Amino acid sequence: MVELKDDQPSGLGWLPDGKLLIVSMSQRRLLSWDGSELSDYADLSRLASWHCNDMVVDSVGNAYVGNFGFDLHNGKSPKSAEIVRVDPDGHCSLVAEDVFFPNGMVITPDNKTLIVAETFGRCLSAFDIDKNGDLSGKQTWAELPERAVPDGICLDAAGGIWSASPTTNECIRQIKGGEMTHQIKTDQGAFACMIGDGKLYVLTSSSSIPSECLQNKDARVEVYDAPFDRAGLP
């Protein structure tokens, strides 16, 4: 049995068989949880240039995983990163490069488009997904308003994307092209969001630095009414 020691879990995603995939950040691995046992699933260390981060799993079990690209918490110079696809058999492939801190990801209901939050690019970028799961045709889906950055994101049934913005203490909804239609202010950084049962769930914290998070212990889940149901994946 594998144990997640001296590391941090990050992105989560469900496989078609019901197993849960878990990103092991600094070890740059994927783990699987079957309800009773944690197991190794894939090693991304050869392809991910720094700590692995958020993830989305498509309907056939392909997992798309982003990473920091650089040592953020020790003040290293920013540089772009990669998106790695992990196939259902655990094989890893590089499917996108030059993505500036790929973070939250969603897949549209038709399974043809992956949209990723480029946190340090301050934008949402869209990729075409081909029948093999490869990505191409990168384009800007929306730029974030001034000072805002996208961290975790979610897609709704009206085609809007909610972005949690830790720099501006808010969660905002935009439509393709960038128009902001909704804004929810929080009193600390917003780092992730998800829609379920007519509610928007926003994860907030005063910091993202691991040592400060351990000391402050002030993270929480905030709940708001959602104007539209969820859509796509996750």
Scored b (16 or more CB within 10 A) or e, 83-111 reads bbbbebeeebeebbeebbbbbbbbbbeee
Average pLDDT, the chain: 95
pLDDT at residue 112 in the model:
98
This model's pTM is above 0.85:
yes
pLDDT for the residue 70? 83
Q: How confident is the model at residue 157 (pLDDT cuts 50, 70, 90)?
A: very high
pLDDT at 71: 82
Region of residue 182 (phi > 0: left; psi between -120 and 50: alpha; otherwise: beta): beta
For tokens 């075409």, name the residue.
Answer: 128
Determine the Cα–Cα distance for residues 175 and 142; give it in Å rounded to an integer. 8
In DSSP terms, 67 is beta-bridged to: 52
> 1 falls in which pLDDT band (50, 70, 90)?
low
User: At residue 5, does pLDDT exceed 70?
Assistant: no
Residue 149 pLDDT class (50, 70, 90 cuts):
very high
Buried b (16+ CB within 10 A) or exposed e, 42-55: bbbeebbebbbbbb
Residues 200/68/176/109 CA torsion (nearest 10 deg): -70
* Coil, helix or strand at residue 95: strand
Taking Cα atoms as reference points, which of 187, 209, 106 lies closest to residue 150?
A: 106
Q: Where are the beta strands (DSSP E) in 58-91?
A: 63-67, 81-86
Whether 175 contacts 162, CB under 8 Å: no
Beta-bridge partner residues of 23? 30
Residue-wise pLDDT for 77-117, tens only, equals: 889 999 999 999 999 999 999 999 999 999 999 999 999 99
Radius of gyration of the chain (CA): 17
